[in-house]
Structure 1
Amino acid sequence: MVNKKYILLAGVCSALALQPAFAQESAPASWTGRDMTYRGQSYDALDTAYIPASRMEQQKQYLNHQYAFPAKPRNMWELGINAGVYNVFGDVTSKTPFTAAKPLNSVGFGATLRKALGYSTSLRLQYVYGMASGFDYRTRSASGELPWSGIPAYQTMNGGKIYSNYKFTSHELTLQLVGNINNIKFNKAKNSVSLYGFIGGGLMAWQTKISTADKNGAAYDFSKVPAGTQQWKDRKATNDALKELFKDGQYESVNRKESHSMMGDNQLSPVLTGGLGLQFKLGNRVSLNFEEKLSWIGSDLVDGVQMQPAGGLSPDKDLINYASVGLSFNIGNKKRSVLPLWWVNPMDHIYNELADPRHMKLPDPVLPDTDGDGVTDQFDKCPDTPAGVAVDVHGCPLDTDGDGVPDYKDKQRITPTECQPVDVDGIGKCPCPGPECGTVGPVGCNLGAGSVCFKGSSAKLSSEAQNQLANLAAQMKTAPTCKVVVMGNAGNSKVQQQRSWDRVNAVIEYLSETQQISRDQFIFQYTGGTGDVNCVMYRSAMPGEEGPSNLPPPHPQLGTKK
């Protein structure tokens, strides 16, 4: 059994490990780096930088509201090292790992490489080198055990009684399926402690030796060893005597081979393994692990003793135990990979969308427009405008020349000021000075301002928006030298920038292709707007204001489908 002082030492280490872990859990949810980017999230689910090319199509469908689930992000690998106590649960008791006579007995060392398959499962490759040794305070019959039965001296010495001992060494390589669920939190964003279980299999190269002679090659004289009993004092006296007897540390004989699968002096056996572990997150790169693992190779000779005679089939198979403490390191570029997914809470993105939507589709507001002119009743100063009549931003029929007769009734749409007032048909009362009378005269560039809004993430113009733009087109046709600035409201993300570009382009394409307005009359600006990110604003260009009528899309791979 392991000495109590080592158990106490492990408990102290656990207490020290909890302090930084819980201190981190109490940190405020804020911008603290790329691994905790948005409101305490482990990563921003809308950021395509974390998505590999193989899953980018799913991410695009999610961003465009064509699929309900975001793509799994690229996440880091975990590389671990560990050391601990290595024991055999069998017929002969393993001894403590550190003794004056035999230092570093019953210890193990290992390394792991782990990769997440999802938020709750991962694969882990583990290598462990272990060595265990021990001896038994209870006597056994020399005639019933090999190789003791082949040494004549032991048939007569001490009444044919011997004390079993062994030294076991192994190299174990296994692939394990690891499961954890405590990262899925419903009441907080992240976890700093991970409880996991694992099961797996692989191969073990192992060797068991026993010591049958002292350093001079003579048989051990067990007659000087006091007989041990179940009483603790008697058992301790026996153990102390055997420890002195076996202190030469020489193991001469290899135990009987059970199979023909050999690797040098080692037997090669399939191994099954399983266990539990507790992992404390010390930071975004390092974690502390405590783990308990059992391995089974289906042999009763791991401790050098078989309960039944040679050739028998013993149901009492030995188990190998490895209790370890280790450090794990997250490996990867934090600008392209999130933490291993067993540290990421998949509920975090869902709850943040509910609290402050950035991607969620919200119901369209119901704004009544009785006359269908594109101006809602709340702001419509002329609520009874006939269908199809171009209106201004106040919902009143356009009156280009300001003569008091709306354009749809005006038989002389551009009446010179000197010819006003006009009659009921909008015709002026001054004599015509020449052939230019009745034609379009100089018109100012006061085309007004307004905004066109879109639904969800779409760049498709609604019928109301088309009516509104038709009114704008009617005004622009009377002022072919005037320009209109069309401005989008782009956010910080790549998706929002591309979406703003798509919407500005949709407005200009409708006016130029459907309403036959020259594209040269537009100034294309997909950034700089304020207000609702789902709206595109337009206004008359200021005197001398210039700008491109078209711009290349900033992120065409994230284009919004109409």
Structure 2
Amino acid sequence: MKVSLFKALPVALAGLFMGSAALAQETPSATTAAKFRTWSIGVNAGVLTPVSPLGGRNDFSNNKYNFGYGLYIKKQFTPYFSLRLDGVRGKLSGDNTEAFGSGAANNSAVRSFETQLEYSATLNAVVNMFNIDMFKKENALQLYALAGAGFAGYQPTITTAGGTTAFGGGKTINELIIPVGLGAKFKLTDAVNFDLGWTFNYVDGDNLDGVYRNGNDKYSYAHAGLEFALGSGKQLAFHNPVAATYDEAVAAKNTANALKSDLDAQKAENAKLRSEMADILKDTDGDGVADKLDKCPGTPAGTVVDGSGCPLKTPEKVVERIITEEDRKVVKDAISNLEFDLGKATIRSKSFATLNRVAGLLIQKNFSLKLAGHTDITGSRELNLRLSKERAESVKAYLVTQGANASRIEATGYGPDQPIATNKTAAGRQQNRRVEFTLY
């Protein structure tokens, strides 16, 4: 019989896994992307009995009901499929005080048995068969089926018809078991579920009750308990991807309808804009400037016009101004002789003669002049910027009083930002305090 159980195990598990895989393929990607509670632990208690409605009874005519308890840890992979590690302990017992179901007298040499189920540990594939309301994104009730494999350890004790007690070797017997079961789960909160289940366990041996006859033993565990979902968010097990997909499809259809309406409105708006654009771009005289912007309509064909549609004026002849070495010497002398009162922008009178020559040069040759004031680092930067600017402006003002064109003179102050010598020595600071003249 061990061979037959080993052959049945992959068939049962394959059926559950194939069903769960087919259901998982229908799960939308949004399900896996969302944050769900996928880990849970459960505790339960119920009734252990050495009988299975799917495989008949064991070797005794009267199977008794005994207390059992268990716990499990579960990982939910999709709304339809999970793996669950179960552990159960308790007691199994029965006797031959009643006639067999056929009515035949029970003349067994063994009166009763009692087996301590020290442990059972199984790994089960659990499939949520369907959510109760297929049009709700989240349900509160679901039915499930499970199948798996594992091991059970137990010690049977038998009592003979003569009252003698015998132990099953005094050692724990370990056997392969295959559980299959059904259950219903009720969601109480996002973190707590009420669980009802009935599991039928098929033992790969005929020693569970201490009596060896034809056929392997079996037992069942009917239980109730609580399941606690770990983490935060909703439970993946109660999520309904079918309803979520339906809602997404409806939303997509509404979005498509809205986009179509927007597209129709945009087409009408574009037609209106094209008509308005044709009016705006109308160019009667063909000069390249639209009538709405043409300030000189009716210009002859071939006339070169500016951006306002008016004929371009003939550019004035550019007069090249040549700066000679003598001109540069006049400027250099003015720079060398330029002095101001200490800390002020007042020009000392000894500088007037050379500045007068610069003014005459600007008037005579129509030169332009850039004045750039500079200081050393003595004092604050703000003060030096202001002083350099004021000194440049003071030179400009003097040149204007001597007849120079103010529009051709630019005065700027740079403060201490453009030194030409070190500021660590008095000589260097003296060189940095200057006004530069640039002819052009």
C-alpha separation in 1, matches of 2:108 and 2:32 = 68
Q: Is the 8 A contact 1:183 1:345 kept in 2?
A: yes
| Correspondence for 1:174 | 122
RMSD in angstroms over aligned alpha carbons? 4.2
| Correspondence for 2:241 | 346
Q: Is the 8 A contact 1:139 1:161 kept in 2?
A: no
Correspondence list, 1:67-106, <5 A: 70=30, 72-73=32-33, 75=36, 76-89=38-51, 90-92=58-60, 93-96=62-65, 106=66
Higher gyration radius (CA): 2
Deviations 1:27-50 (A, max 9, x none): xxxxxxxxxxxxxxxxxxxxxxxx
Deviations 1:321-374 (A, max 9, x none): 10000100111233xxx522x31111223222233239976775665999xxx9
SS at match of 1:332: coil
Instruction: Check 1:354–1:166 CA distance in 2 against 1; reply closer, same or farther (3 A cut).
Output: closer
Q: Is residue 282 from structure 1 mapped to residue 188 from structure 2 by the alignment?
A: yes
SS at match of 1:137: coil
C-alpha separation in 2, matches of 1:416 and 1:177 = 80
CA displacement at 1:160 relative to structure 2: 11
Q: Is the 8 A contact 1:111 1:127 kept in 2?
A: yes
Correspondence list, 1:535-554, <5 A: none
C-alpha separation in 1, matches of 2:43 and 2:285 = 83
Q: Is the 8 A contact 1:139 1:164 kept in 2?
A: no
Correspondence list, 1:148-547, <5 A: 163-183=111-131, 185-211=133-159, 220=163, 253-255=166-168, 265-307=171-213, 314-315=214-215, 317-334=216-233, 338-340=234-236, 342-357=237-252, 367=264, 376-377=270-271, 379-380=272-273, 382=275, 394-396=276-278, 398=280, 406=283, 409-411=286-288, 420=296, 422-423=298-299, 435=315
CA displacement at 1:135 relative to structure 2: 2.9
Correspondence list, 1:4-153, <5 A: 70=30, 72-73=32-33, 75=36, 76-89=38-51, 90-92=58-60, 93-96=62-65, 106-138=66-98
Deviations 1:274-305 (A, max 9, x none): 01001011111111011001111133332233
Q: Is the 8 A contact 1:83 1:110 kept in 2?
A: yes
CA displacement at 1:109 relative to structure 2: 1.0
C-alpha separation in 2, matches of 1:170 and 1:431 = 109
Normalising by the residue count of structure 2, what TM-score does the alignment of the two structures yield? 0.51
C-alpha separation in 2, matches of 1:132 and 1:86 = 6
Residue type at the aligned position of 2:175? S
SS at match of 1:182: strand
Q: Is the 8 A contact 2:280 2:290 kept in 1?
A: no
C-alpha separation in 2, matches of 1:295 and 1:192 = 28
Q: Is the 8 A contact 2:111 2:160 kept in 1?
A: no
Residue type at the aligned position of 1:255? G
C-alpha separation in 1, matches of 2:108 and 2:135 = 68
CA displacement at 1:199 relative to structure 2: 0.7
Q: Is the 8 A contact 2:124 2:146 kept in 1?
A: yes
C-alpha separation in 1, matches of 2:285 and 2:309 = 20
C-alpha separation in 2, matches of 1:161 and 1:430 = 128
CA displacement at 1:87 relative to structure 2: 0.9
Instruction: Check 1:164–1:430 CA distance in 2 against 1; reply closer, same or farther (3 A cut).
Output: closer
Residue type at the aligned position of 1:111? L
Q: Is the 8 A contact 1:168 1:303 kept in 2?
A: no
SS at match of 2:248: helix
Deviations 1:428-467 (A, max 9, x none): 898877859xxxxxxxxxxxxxxxxxxxxxxxxxxxxxxx
C-alpha separation in 2, matches of 1:429 and 1:199 = 89
Instruction: Check 1:409–1:131 CA distance in 2 against 1; reply closer, same or farther (3 A cut).
Output: farther
Residue type at the aligned position of 1:279? K
Structure 1 segments unaligned to the other structure (5+ residues): 1-67, 97-105, 141-158, 214-218, 222-251, 257-263, 308-313, 383-393, 400-404, 437-562
C-alpha separation in 2, matches of 1:199 and 1:407 = 88
Instruction: Check 1:429–1:180 CA distance in 2 against 1; reply closer, same or farther (3 A cut).
Output: closer
Q: Is the 8 A contact 1:367 1:376 kept in 2?
A: no
CA displacement at 1:266 relative to structure 2: 0.4
CA displacement at 1:139 relative to structure 2: 9.1
Deviations 1:14-72 (A, max 9, x none): xxxxxxxxxxxxxxxxxxxxxxxxxxxxxxxxxxxxxxxxxxxxxxxxxxxxxx95572
Q: How many pairs are equivalent?
A: 268
CA displacement at 1:178 relative to structure 2: 0.9
Deviations 1:491-527 (A, max 9, x none): xxxxxxxxxxxxxxxxxxxxxxxxxxxxxxxxxxxxx
C-alpha separation in 1, matches of 2:109 and 2:288 = 129
CA displacement at 1:197 relative to structure 2: 0.6
Identical counterparts, % of pairs = 24
C-alpha separation in 2, matches of 1:115 and 1:356 = 32
Q: Is the 8 A contact 1:398 1:407 kept in 2?
A: no
